[in-house]
């Protein structure tokens, strides 16, 4: 299911931020803070992704609300060397949520309709996939988190 893969890719990077914060602003501290968030994303990924794609619109809406509420925190914590990629991934999540909202958070209905399926496909650009791949690589090399971040349209 493409939606599951896309959301899984993005949720790895954008979920689980509510308990993380930082008071330091040095580049090293900012990287460490960002890596702390990446670890939290990995822990929250399965539940949020399953809730969005599980067929229950209420759970999907709640999970997306949680993810969207946390996107801003991730963007604020992103080190300069990955800020553009984080912003790209966040833009994808925001657009994906808008598509879900327009369709009452019914993933099956989106997939079954050629028009909305095409709208989703249009969101999963090469730019989004490249940003997700670079963020996955960053989480592995800089944060020590094994990452198997798929592309948004694989």
- Residue 57 in domain: yes
Per-residue pLDDT, 29 = 62
- Residue 9 in domain: yes
- Residue 147 in domain: no
- Residue 52 in domain: yes
Number of domains making up the chain: 1
Per-residue pLDDT, 70 = 73
Per-residue pLDDT, 136 = 82
pTM of the model: 0.77
What's the mean pLDDT when you consider all of the chain? 77
Low-confidence ranges of the chain (pLDDT < 70): 1-29, 41, 45-46, 146-154
DSSP H stretches of helix in the chain: 2-14, 27-53, 57-77, 80-102, 107-112, 114-123, 126-141
- Residue 148 in domain: no
> What is the C-alpha separation between 135 and 10, in angstroms, rounded?
10
- Residue 135 in domain: yes
Question: Is 115:14 a contact under the CB 8 Å cutoff?
Answer: no
Per-residue pLDDT, 16 = 33
Per-residue pLDDT, 142 = 85
> What is the C-alpha separation between 29 and 53, in angstroms, rounded?
35
Structural domain boundaries, residue 75: 2-141
């Amino acid at each position: 299911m493409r939606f599951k893969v896309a959301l899984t890719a993005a949720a790895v990077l954008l979920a689980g931020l509510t308990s993380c914060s930082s008071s330091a602003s040095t580049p090293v501290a900012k990287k460490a803070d960002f890596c702390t968030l990446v670890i939290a994303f990995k822990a929250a990924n399965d539940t949020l992704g399953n809730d969005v794609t599980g067929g229950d619109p209420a759970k999907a809406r709640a999970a997306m609300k949680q993810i969207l509420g946390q996107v801003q925190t991730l963007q604020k914590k992103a080190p300069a060397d990955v800020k553009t990629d984080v912003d790209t991934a966040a833009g994808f999540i925001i657009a994906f949520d808008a598509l879900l909202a327009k369709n009452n958070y019914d993933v099956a209905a989106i997939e079954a309709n050629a028009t909305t399926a095409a709208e989703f496909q249009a969101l999963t650009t090469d730019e989004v996939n490249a940003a997700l791949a670079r963020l996955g690589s960053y989480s592995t090399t800089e944060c020590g988190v094994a990452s198997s971040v798929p592309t948004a349209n694989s």
